[in-house]
Amino acid sequence: MSDTTGHGADAFFREQRAAFTHTLATQGSEAALLQAWDSFDGNVAIQSEGQPPVECAKGCASCCTLRVTALAPEVFVLADYLRATAPALQRHGIDLIGAVRAADAATRGLHEATRVAARRRCAFVVQGVCLLHRARPLACRGHASHDRRACADAAAGRVDEVPFSGPHRLVRLLLQSALQAALRDQGKAWGAYELNHALVLALDRPGAQAGWKQGEDPLADAAADLELRAAMAAGFDEMRL
Ligand code: SF4
């Protein structure tokens, strides 16, 4: 992405949409997700040149009390990861699947402001570390701060403002939108889902991923963006012209 102004952003969106469309058609949704992660890292690095450093680091999970949304490919990758790692983690006394079920039970249906005020840690933070870090959703990747102390103060309710990294936010927004547009073009459910609820649905319905690949929306009950979808769909159609 050469710049972050309107033309550069539009061109980047179109390029990424085309690239995701090709990957989805030839290699599937997991490959498209890996592509999104790689593109995120590369383009954030370019866009962050000359910017103050980001202070996010292992051991800091101050912002991991916010609601997380994820796309269906992210949910299914994480559900597979949880299933695959459960036996080994349980030998260390860690039950991530139980933790996500508890988090869902405690947060489902809560208004965003209520949820923020509750300051409940994400189910995947263990000893201050995100155990999903390498597979974390784009929403988490796009949330980066220039001031670690401000994050801690915000988490404690002492301040409202945190200097978040603009490049992380912008690249996440464009990549996530491009992936959504490509999914929609392929007839797949392309919305954003509340992570805990969506994971519980994916874990409890063995055929969920296969159904999604056939064009169903097995995560629909966890939809987090219904009020936005019509406008987003219109924008995706306009950007195809
Ligand atoms: S998935 Fe990881 S990075 Fe995202 S909110 Fe949870 S602990 Fe934080």
Measuring from atom 8 of ligand 1, which residue has the nearest CA? 64
List all residues whose CB is within 6 A of at least one atom of ligand 1.
61, 64, 68, 122, 124-125, 130, 132, 136, 140
Q: Identify each DSSP E strand in 38-178 by its residue range.
A: 69-71, 125-126, 129-130
Q: In ligand 1, which atom is closest to the CA atom of 61? A: 8
| The pLDDT value given to residue 6 | 58
Report pTM: 0.93
Dist. CA 26 → ligand 1 center (Å):
30
In terms of residues, how long is the chain? 241
Count of CB atoms within 10 A of residue 118's CB? 11
Residue 223 Rama label (left phi>0; alpha psi -120 to 50; beta): beta
Dist. CA 234 → ligand 1 center (Å):
31
| The pLDDT value given to residue 146 | 92
Bridge partner residues of 126 (DSSP) = 129
Q: Encode pLDDT of 115-152 as tens digits.
A: 878 889 999 999 989 999 999 999 999 998 898 888 88
Residue 223, pLDDT > 70, answer yes
**Is residue 100 within 8 Å of 82, Cβ to Cβ?**
yes
| The pLDDT value given to residue 230 | 97
| The pLDDT value given to residue 129 | 93
Of the listed ranges 4-8, 45-49, 97-101, 190-194, the least confidently predicted one is 4-8
| The pLDDT value given to residue 7 | 63
| The pLDDT value given to residue 231 | 97
Measuring from atom 4 of ligand 1, which residue has the nearest CA? 140
| The pLDDT value given to residue 63 | 85
Distance CA 102, CA 225 (A): 23
Tokens of 174: 């464009």
Distance CA 34, CA 184 (A): 18
